[in-house]
Amino acid sequence: MSEYDIAVIGGDGIGPDVTAEAMKVLDVVSEIFGFRLRRTEYPFGTDHYLATKEIFPDKAFEEVQGMNAIFLGAIGDPRAPVGLIEFGIIAKLRFELDLFVNLRPIKLYDERLCPLKGKTVDDVDMIIVRENTEGAYSGMHGFAHKGQALEVATQTMVYTRAGVERVIRYAFEIAKTRPRKQVTLIDKANAVRAQDLWTRTFAIVAAEYPDVKTDHAYVDAACMWMVKNPEWFDVAVTPNLFGDIITDLGAMVQGGMGIAASGNIHPGKVSLFEPIHGSAPKYAGKGVASPVAAVMAGSMMLNYLGETAASEVMEKAVADLLRSGRLKGVGTGDHRTEEAGELIMSEIKSLTAKV
Ligand code: IPM
Ligand code: MG
Q: Of the given ranges (151-160, 294-303, 330-339), which has the lowest mean pLDDT?
A: 330-339
pLDDT of residue 109: 96
Nearest CA to ligand 1 atom 5: 86
Nearest CA to ligand 1 atom 8: 244
96 confidence band (pLDDT: 50, 70, 90): very high
Whole-number average pLDDT of the chain: 97
CA 104 – CA 250 distance, rounded (Å): 9
Q: What average pLDDT does this structure show over 167-191?
A: 98
Q: What average pLDDT does this structure show over 214-232?
A: 98
Q: In angstroms, how far apart are the furthest CA atoms of the chain?
A: 70
Nearest CA to ligand 1 atom 11: 244
Q: What are the catalytic residues? A: 137, 188, 220, 244, 248
Residues in the chain: 355
Q: What average pLDDT does this structure show over 208-215?
A: 98
For a mutational test of ligand 1's pocket, the pick from 9, 46, 86, 279, i.e. the residue with the most ligand atoms closer than 8 A to its C-beta, is: 86
3-state SS, residue 73: strand
3-state SS, residue 22: helix
Measure 249 CA to ligand 2 centroid, in angstroms. Answer: 10
Q: Report the 10 Å Cβ neighbour count for 28.
A: 21
Q: Which atom of ligand 1 is nearest to the CA of 244?
A: 10
354 confidence band (pLDDT: 50, 70, 90): low
Nearest CA to ligand 1 atom 12: 244
3-state SS, residue 262: strand
Q: Pairing state of beta strands 271-275 and 69-74?
A: parallel
Measure 351 CA to ligand 2 centroid, in angstroms. Answer: 33
Q: Which atom of ligand 1 is nearest to the CA of 240?
A: 12
Q: Nearest ligand, CA of residue 76?
A: 1
- Report how far apart, in Å, the C-alpha atoms of 64 and of each of 54, 70, 143 are: 16, 7, 34
| Cβ-Cβ contacts under 8 Å for 22 (sequence gap 6 or more) | 71, 291, 294, 295, 297, 298, 341
Amino acid at 179: P
Q: Pairing state of beta strands 152-155 and 35-42?
A: unpaired
3-state SS, residue 131: strand
Q: Tell me if 44 sits within 8 A of 7, measured CB to CB.
A: no
Provide, for the chain, the percentages of residues in helix, strand and coil under a 3-state DSSP scheme, each rounded to the nearest 5.
Answer: 45, 20, 35
For a mutational test of ligand 1's pocket, the pick from 128, 131, 155, 244, i.e. the residue with the most ligand atoms closer than 8 A to its C-beta, is: 244
Beta bridge partners of residue 2, listed in sequence order: 35
* pLDDT, tens digit, 9 for 90 and up, residues 253-281: 999 999 999 999 999 999 999 999 999 99
| Nearest CA among 335, 271, 323 for reference residue 297 | 271
Q: Report the 10 Å Cβ neighbour count for 114.
A: 21
pLDDT of residue 26: 98
**What are the pocket residues of ligand 1 if the criterion is a CB atom closer than 6 Å to any ligand atom?**
75-76, 86, 90, 244, 276
Residue list, CB under 5 A from ion ligand 2: 244
pLDDT of residue 178: 98
Instruction: Compute the chain's Rg from CA coordinates.
Output: 20
Q: Which atom of ligand 1 is nearest to the CA of 76?
A: 6
- Report how far apart, in Å, the C-alpha atoms of 48 and of each of 9, 10, 77 are: 11, 11, 12
Q: Domains of the chain by range and CATH?
A: 1-105+260-355 (3.40.718.10), 115-131+158-254 (3.40.50)
Q: Nearest ligand, CA of residue 275?
A: 1
Q: Tell me if 288 sits within 8 A of 122, measured CB to CB.
A: no
Which of the 8 DSSP states describes residue 340? Answer: H
Q: What single string gives the DSSP state of each residue in 204-231?
A: HHHTT-TTSEEEEEEHHHHHHHHHH-GG
Nearest CA to ligand 1 atom 9: 276
| Nearest CA among 303, 341, 281, 308 for reference residue 27 | 341
pLDDT at 355 > cutoff 90 = no
Measure 18 CA to ligand 1 centroid, in angstroms. Answer: 18
Measure 68 CA to ligand 2 centroid, in angstroms. Answer: 24
329 confidence band (pLDDT: 50, 70, 90): confident
For a mutational test of ligand 1's pocket, the pick from 77, 87, 89, 90, i.e. the residue with the most ligand atoms closer than 8 A to its C-beta, is: 90
